[in-house]
Structure 1
Amino acid sequence: MSTVSEIFRVRPWLGKVLTLPAGYRAVLDFHNIESIETDAGEHVWIIDPSMLAHLSRSALKERRLADLERTVNALLESTTTEIESLRPLRQLARRWGGGPWMAYANALTALTRLKHDEGKAVEVRSLVEDLYTALSPDGGLAGEEAPFAITENFTTLYRNHWRVGAAEVLEGLLAPGSGQHAALLFQRAVLASDAGDHAGTVEALRRSVAIEPRSPTLWFLLGTALLEASTLEETPTVLLDPAGEIVEAFDRALTLLDVRDTLTVDHCVRALDHRYLRADWTLVDLLRKRTVALRDVGRLDEALASANRLVAAAPDEPRSWEILGTVLFELSRHDDVINAYSAAIGCSVQAPPEHSILARHFASPWYNRAAVYALLGQRAEAIADLRQALAVAPSWAEVVLFDERFKGLTADGELQRLVEEGRAAAQACQQQNLDDG
């Protein structure tokens, strides 16, 4: 009894533990109650972030890694009331066994939460710096391989719009040339894409695929980024390789299809699920873009072979036949062009979409077949197709008089009337969108 009395005399706060209701427990260290949590592990009370950061630094210094992980996880929870948003991080820590990498990521996340509370952020910033030093190549934890959890941690941070913190999680800590390094560079491409930085996106993807050239996804995304950049009015010369880098990227992706989703970086792309740099592309997506790239660089025989393969792979998609039509037009095979556009129209059995941009794509086969008919001097057919195209998407009226294929009909009264009616309808639609918006 005297021993118990002495314990309570020296640590009187232990009496508080005895008052906890059933289903709750206290997490203690030698000096403090660190937190109170339920049997399920949910915290209901936690000590100050500065103290938790101090305890974490002590655990790191003494290489008590289990204590380090526990206190930094508690630190992360102490900086937010959004417990649900933290649940994925805690699940990752359990799934992958945690460790100093997860501690670093969680400490950095906590620091981003304390950016407006400098008093508490000081100790946490020191913890982040200590962890960074320890995990760097010359640090005490050098050689510790970053688990895949760190990539998923980035994904969680990114989805919660903590993008600056997300970008910093891995910076400078991954072994150059590793699969994780390739994944980091992909994440850098994502951040550049979100910022509208086409050069930054391309450069990051180039560096990533140089590290992991076995990834068809990286090659496909690089080709896609380059193809998009090539359509810009002012494309920096650094983006484009006159030797045909775009085609090469798609060709490499085509030869590597069988190894999709087998690499760390592929898992990273899929986990992030970015709206543009996605992992769910298909063979049809690849053939479509590869055909366009071959056509654009003038390799028309290869483009035709690719377009025929595209049609064979997706014969029910109007876009497949349209792309074939554009290649055939470049080859001056006009009768075959009309047949291709007719096949595209035959695939368009659903009702026209209401959205103006989607409607324009829907009407594209009619407009382009009309243009070819006009080029061939087949007035009645051209007028009929143009009327159909403008009825679905009046915005096509803006380009008719500038389209060289319609040059022979620009003075035609009925064509001019259709164009004026289309322009008026397009302006009315635009005004309606402004009123609704």
Structure 2
Amino acid sequence: MTFKSINPFSQEIIAEYEALTNSQLNKKLELAETAFKNWKNTSSQERADKMQKLANILRANKEKLGLIITSEMGKIISESIGEVEKSASNCDYYAEHAEQMLKDVYYDTPFKSMSVYDPMGAVFAVMPWNYPFWQVLRYAAPAIMAGNVTLLKHASNVIGCAKAIENAFLEAGFPEGVFQHIGIEIGQVESVIAADIVHGITLTGSEGAGSSVAALAGKHIKKTVMELGGSDAFIVLNDANLEKAAEVAAHSRMLNAGQACICAKRFIVTEKVADEFVSLFAKSMQSLQQGDPLKKGIHLGPLARLDLAETLASQLEKSLKQGAKLVVGGEYENCNFQPTLIDFVAVDSVAFQEETFGPLATVIRAKDENDAVAIANNHRYGLAAAIWTEDREKAYKIARNIEAGNVFVNSLVRSDSRVPFGGVKKSGYGRELGAVGIKEFVNMKSVVIE
């Protein structure tokens, strides 16, 4: 099988890559096993030194690496460079804090008792194309700092990014086999999951992909962390700062051309302020320029693939037929999709029920605060949400009632190395980042000494 890297803006083929044969894959698994035997015994300081060097390499090459991201999946160049910088900061964070996070924990018992954190082996990662560096370093930095090794199956349209990350690890001095990109077909996934060296699987992607991989992991009794789809609620209440909310709403929905699980997608606005908010939201949307992601003044590039644009167009068409009203945008050519806003979206419509992965914003009008919360929770996804109100005490109470893994008040939903991140319901389970994230793929071993 051949994987093709295609520039989504120009539709030019950048490169083609052959999938690994089964024999080649087995050698990769053997290399991971050999590497783990040595890497698990390295000191925290040695791991930290190499992770810090990796961070420095990423920063020093951020323009070159950013260009690879933009060329392969289409986000504007400033966002691509920012993604590399954020990935480097994550390496900094775990280089500095991993040792403290994994210190032995002692218990108050009549005998000496403690928990120690041991590495497990290889972590197999199935990663998406929308944040091809950040998603990888988000799991890989803590997993490797904990003493594990990792095998990456990246999305087939960003193999150039996968190779660049692997080369950066090697340049930083990590032993061969600690981080490996494996370009494999879907049919080879189970053989990796079944391999004795693999003790954990992490996947960021669609609900369908997560369900399939989790089933295989369950069959072979392997630990999993799943970060899946999202249809995040952006709740605007009567006392919100509407100008600020509308500005952030446009940025949140159009970031990465709307191709993010934590992009706000369902804008739930109380009726009293809905007209004003929609007017401000439309104005913000109309100020955005879609086009060549390498040019200055462009706010969003193309969608990553033609089929994604066609799917989004279909979702828009169906939603309009179901009663939604087009406010802004609605046109697309190839992968280039205009920033689009629709109003009066019903809870049983396609735009509400399905994840819209692109620059399509949907406004749902709620009767009041309680209705807004009910609408927000009336969904199979529960990744993140935002609440806009000037009453911080009320915001806290509402946040406790929102069914999501992350809730932000009066700000853009975002991930941060210091804060655990993940979802509930069909958005997945487990957590990445923070001290919690590094402990997802370790053996918390109880040691008791009489």
Which TM-score tier does this pair reach, normalised by the shorter chain? under 0.3
Which structure shows the higher helix fraction?
1
TM-score, normalised with respect to structure 2: 0.24
Which structure shows the higher strand fraction?
2
